[in-house]
Structure formats: structure tokens, C-alpha cells
Amino acid sequence: MKHLLCLLVLTRFLSAGDHPEIRNDVDSKAAHFGDVSRKIWEFAEVGYKETKSSALLAAELRAAGFTVEAGVAGMPTAFVASYGQGKPVIGILGEFDALPGLSQEDVPEKKPRVDGAPGHGCGHNLFGAGSALAAIALKDWLASRKIPGTIRFFGTPAEEGGGGKVYMARAGLFRDVDAVIAWHPGDSNRVTSGSSLGNINAKFRFYGKPAHAAASPEQGRSALDGLMIMSMAVEMLREHVPSTTRIHYIFTKAGAAPNVVPDFAEGYFYARHPDMPTLDGIWERIVKCAQAGALASETRMEMEIIASVYNLLPNTPLIDALGRNLRIVGGVNYSPEETAFAETLRKSFLKPDASPLSKATEIGAADQPSSVGGSTDVADVSWNVPVGQITTATFVPGTPGHSWQSAACAGSSIGRKGMVVAAKTLALTVADLFTDPKLLEAARKDFDARRAGNEYKSRIPANQGPPLHYRDYAGTGESQ
């Protein structure tokens, strides 16, 4: 028995590295999963409403031999698909939610598919399909080699402000996972060694008294006034927060008619910062701005936390492994038609110094550790288990995120090529984790060192369930 165990360990060490058979398997399935990504792009479902997108991915994984548990952690569109048994348990993340108001055809000019409807301006149609492609290719490889261990695909809804992964972490779904690998669409190919911004967001609702705005204005108390006073106070607050802070908001409801004093108004506010304790202090001041708005307007204010996510915890061993495999896979090469699409699209960018198209082919340097960008609920996973991420060039270099331009790319062949780069890189890296125990050990040590002395505690109230209707406001294409 001892000799058998030694042989198994030796086999794992010797088999680490490039696996051409995995890359070939991904290529053989690429066209099909390109079609899957296109269908999800056409569905364009916003957070917690991704019924068709989630079902499609779950069906693909089930057909490939995975066991699927749907509706996990109190979210109808969240699911976990598993294959294999025993250790190690390696997770792959997949997202599939769209953004409100970014409906777009796959053409290089602004042309909504449906006016005002959602669109995949962050490329999550590619994220989910590409991750499923990687998981299925890995399943084929594990089965053919009879390698023990478990692949677990996490179908994660509502990344765009809904915090789906936070609730999955709270439900203990990552508790027995040894490492998690993920990716994200972007305009270049690189590993993610930097962090992200912690985020707290909430809806502030003001309740007043209606009245005729001309005949009896003194009888009214304007909920809109309360919200506007809050927003003006927040604008003044910007001068007195750290420079790496980001605050942004929209008014989701501001009254029904100009001649009626609004008795209800709602604003949706985000605050971000690289450090969660610092963000807590900033958020307290934003809440005081809301309280001041209610006091000055003689209205009543209620706040509902929608989501809160942590700053990302990088993992150097996983970053290094992903980087090695990304260099093996290589970047994206455009056809003449894709080059013409890209050049036309670039004319719509506000920045005249758009990145060269060669950026899609190159493997770029890692993100800077101090880089300031967006927020992601992947970060909450990274505080529970070692996580490694990459970005691949699914968008034309220079494309702004969350734009009609990125939505156009996400539905095009350019997006699908970047998705395949990601699927191969993820699959090769997870294969390394199955065949090299020292890589897993190093990832855990790095994770423990970064976590040391830092407590993870979500800012979402412990008794609050997922905000399944947080997208129910104008601009989503959903009925009210």
C-alpha cells in the first residue's frame, strides 16, 4: 500500500505542466460553448432573474456527467455542479448576470437589440460558458486518467451588485473546497495579482406627504427633497474622504408628476474603498447624510443594505500557476473581419490613445497590487478559500467596461475567442492543482498568511436573505 501511495504522488508530480490533450478537448468543444455563450448573451437576464441562463449552464453540466444541486443558498438561480469524489476539491466560478440598460447588437455602432433592456456589458455570458467549458474538459481528463478528486462548478448569480457569492459563502458552500479558480472578461490577457475595492451599497427610501404642488404646497413633505438633500451632502462629503474612495448613485424613483409633492423617493448608493474598516467609516457618514436629508425635509428615511463585498485577497502561488498556463495558451488573434470590427469600434472610444490591437495577442504583466478598480463578490470567496484569477481579451483593447461597446464584443467572435483562452488556462491550472500537492499546500500557506490577524465578517446583516428583487426598477427591461 505504501508503494502504491508513493507511486500515486510521483505520478501527480510528473504529470504537472502542460496537458495538450486538455487544450485539444477545449478546442473540440469550443464551438458548442460559443453557442451557449451567445444564447446567454441573447437572454441578457439581470441579477437573480437569470432563470434561462442558469438552467442552460446547469443542463450542459448535467449532460456531461455532473451532479447538479439547484437553488442553493436561498437563490433560485444559484447552483453547484460536482464531479468526482474525495480530495482535493477544486472549485471553478461561473457568472451569468447582465447589466440594466446595455442592450446592444453585436455590431461596432451603438444599436440596442431592445431599447432600455439589459445587456452583457461585463461579458458574464462568456464567464459562465467559458468556466463550464473548462470544468467539462477537466472532467473528461480526470475520468480518462482515473485521478481522484472533485471538480465543483459554482453557478453564481447577481455578481453585479447583488452579492450572490456572499450568500453562497455564508451557506458554507466553500467550506470543504481546497482552492478556487476564476477568470473575468477584459481587454487584455493577464493574471490578477492586485486587489479590488470593498463595496457597501444600499437603497435609501424617503417617505413624505403628498399635496398639490401649487395650491397647497405647505401641506406636503417632499420625499424627493429628502433624497436630494442626501445626495448634495454626499457630494460635499467627497472632499473629505480618502482619494481611493469611490461613491456613485442613481435615483430609482423621484415622484410621479411635477404638480404632486412626491411622497416617495428612492436612491441606490454605492461606496467603495480598498480597505473594509476604512469603508465602514465612510459608510457611516453616508448614512448620516441620509438622516440629515430626512431631518431637513421632515420626511422618514429607511435604508436597505443590498449587498456588501470585500476587497480581493490575492494568492501568489495560484497567480504564478495561472500565469504559466496563460503563457502556454497564448492570446487572441483577430481575423481580417474581426480587425475591421475592432477598428470601427475604436472610433467610438472617448480616449483617442486607445490600446493597440496587439494587446489582445500579448500576455500582459500582472495587475499592480495597488491598482484601484471595481468590486466583485469573488473577493468574499477569496477570504474563505484560496482564489486565483485571470483576465482574457474578450473585448477589443481599450474598450470601457459596462458599455455598449463591451456588450457588442461579448456577443461577437472576438469575445468567444477570449473565452476559449480563459477556458484552456483555467483547465490547465486546475489540472496542476490535481497533480501537484505542493501547489495546493503553497496556496493554503499564502492564504493563511494574508488572512492572519484579519477577520472576515460580511457587512450584510446576518438575518438578511438574498435581495432577489434588487433590480426591480426602471431601466432593467423588467415589469414593475
Q: DSSP string spanning 241-284?
A: S-TT-EEEEEEEE--S-TTB--SEEEEEEEEEESSHHHHHHHHH
Give me the pLDDT at residue 350, please: 87
**Mean pLDDT on 207-232:** 97
CA distance 324 to 330: 10
Residue 96, C-alpha cell as written in the block: 451569468
End-to-end Cα distance, the chain: 64
**Mean pLDDT on 354-360:** 87
Give me the pLDDT at residue 355, please: 81
Q: Is residue 5 over pLDDT 60?
A: no
Q: Is residue 200 over pLDDT 80?
A: yes
pLDDT band per the 50, 70, 90 thresholds, residue 15: very low
**Mean pLDDT on 188-206:** 94
Give me the pLDDT at residue 369, please: 59
Q: Is residue 9 over pLDDT 60?
A: no
Domains and CATH numbers, the chain: 2-196+311-451 (3.40.630.10), 198-308 (3.30.70.360)
Q: Is residue 245 over pLDDT 90?
A: yes
CA distance 47 to 41: 14
pLDDT band per the 50, 70, 90 thresholds, residue 302: very high
| pTM greater than the 0.85 cutoff | yes
pLDDT band per the 50, 70, 90 thresholds, residue 231: very high
Q: Which residue has the cell 467572435?
A: 413
**Mean pLDDT on 464-479:** 70
**Mean pLDDT on 389-407:** 96
Q: Is residue 466 over pLDDT 80?
A: yes
Residue 376, C-alpha cell as written in the block: 466583485
Give me the pLDDT at residue 365, please: 77
Give me the pLDDT at residue 192, please: 85
Cis amide leading into 100 (omega within 30): no
pLDDT digits (tens, 9 = 90+) for 64-118: 999 999 999 999 999 999 999 999 999 999 999 999 999 999 999 999 999 999 9
pLDDT digits (tens, 9 = 90+) for 162-185: 999 999 999 999 999 999 999 999
The mean pLDDT of the chain is 93
Q: Is residue 146 over pLDDT 70?
A: yes
pLDDT band per the 50, 70, 90 thresholds, residue 475: very low
pLDDT band per the 50, 70, 90 thresholds, residue 6: very low
Minimal CA–CA distance to 127: which of 327, 410, 386, 357?
410
Within 13 Å, how many C-alpha atoms sit on residue 263's CB side? 7
